[in-house]
Amino acid sequence: MTGDQVARIPSGRLRQLGPVNWVLAKLGARAVRAPEMHLFTTLGYRQSLFWAWLIYGGRLLRGRLPRIDTELVILRVAHLRSCEYELQHHRRMARAAGLDAQTQATIFAWPDVPGATGPGRYSARGSRRC
């Protein structure tokens, strides 16, 4: 989401999230160097949904794929679906995982990049399944 856009669902604050969820959302934002974890503060309106997402999201991000592959897949899907919020959020995480800006640009431009064989070419294991 860009700076001039307004969230469709306002982010939950301490009162809506409760102290534990509020602290977790703040720590999560700090960990990824974001001003706010909008997904966390939105899901926090329903505390059981918030906890279910933490477990599910943790499994997704720390599953069997190497971190660089996980970020590659997230970036490619976010690009194909024009999900600007997810792109901005995960571009930082992808850089930290080892996908520099030029590699990300190639991933977004594929298949129109001369000599590129696909996004899988950039994965940690050379997988072409992405």
Cβ proximity of 87 and 79 under 8 Å: yes
The mean pLDDT value of the chain amounts to 80
DSSP-assigned letter for residue 12: P
User: Which of 20, 25, 130, 18 minimizes the C-alpha distance to 75?
Assistant: 130
CA distance 65 to 71: 10
Mean pLDDT of 46-58: 85
What is the tens place of the pLDDT at every residue in 60-110?
777 888 889 989 989 999 999 998 878 888 898 899 889 999 989 888 888
Tokens of 114: 């001369």
- What is the per-residue pLDDT for 10? 81
Q: Is the pLDDT reported for residue 6 higher than 80?
A: no
CA distance 18 to 20: 6
CA distance 80 to 74: 10
Domain ranges of the chain: 14-61, 67-122
Tokens of 58: 């943790």
What is the tens place of the pLDDT at every residue in 15-25?
888 898 899 88
CA distance 75 to 90: 7
Q: What is the pTM of this model?
A: 0.63
